[in-house]
Amino acid sequence: MKAAIIYTSVTGNTTFIAETIQENMEKRNVATDLIPVDEFHPERLHEYDIIAVGMYTWANGEIPIEMEEVYDAFETEDLKHTVTGVFGSGDSFFAHYCGAVDLFRDMLYVHTNLAVTLKIELMPQEPDLVKCEKFCDRLLQETLVIQ
């Protein structure tokens, strides 16, 4: 089984979550590639059983522009059976807290086997680390269901 985490980060909050998820996946014996969005290749999506996508959200809850290619790839490649999860950081004072996660979620639900979403406010704290563990458990659980 092979997993990938595709992410973008500005302040490092999302990077921290991405790295935490990678560690947790490796701990569960799943080889996991950590892919910053500028190293992303659409054709390689098929190599993975599990893909987690992560991004930050600013202000009005839009998807960061650099994630456009990833978004398009999920729409056009056939990934119906890939188990996916989407995570992100944001600030709940804005009207659309982690809005980018929601937008990605709605699309992934249609085009992939979406298992789990995760929102974290700014720099992850202790309770958030527990959520990162659950995030990985949920991804693996879904993979086992398929097999």
For residue 9, give the nearest of 133, 122, 112 by alpha carbon.
122
Which of 14, 115, 140, 143 is the binder for other proteins (CB under 8 A)?
A: 115
Rounded distance between C-alpha atoms, residue 30 and residue 28, angstroms: 6
The least distance separating other proteins from the CB of residue 13, rounded to whole angstroms, comes to: 8
Q: Does 60 bind other proteins (CB under 8 A)?
A: yes
| Other residues' Cβ atoms within 10 Å of the Cβ of residue 110 | 10
For residue 61, give the nearest of 40, 89, 35, 37 by alpha carbon.
89
Considering only residues 27 to 46 of the shown chain, the ones binding other proteins according to CB under 8 A are none
Rounded distance between C-alpha atoms, residue 52 and residue 138, angstroms: 12
The least distance separating other proteins from the CB of residue 46, rounded to whole angstroms, comes to: 22
For residue 115, give the nearest of 131, 136, 91 by alpha carbon.
136
Q: Does 74 bind other proteins (CB under 8 A)?
A: no
Q: Does 145 bind other proteins (CB under 8 A)?
A: no
Site residues (vs other proteins, CB under 8 A): 10-12, 58-60, 62-64, 68, 71, 91-96, 102-103, 105-107, 109-110, 114-119, 121-123, 125, 127, 131, 134-135, 138
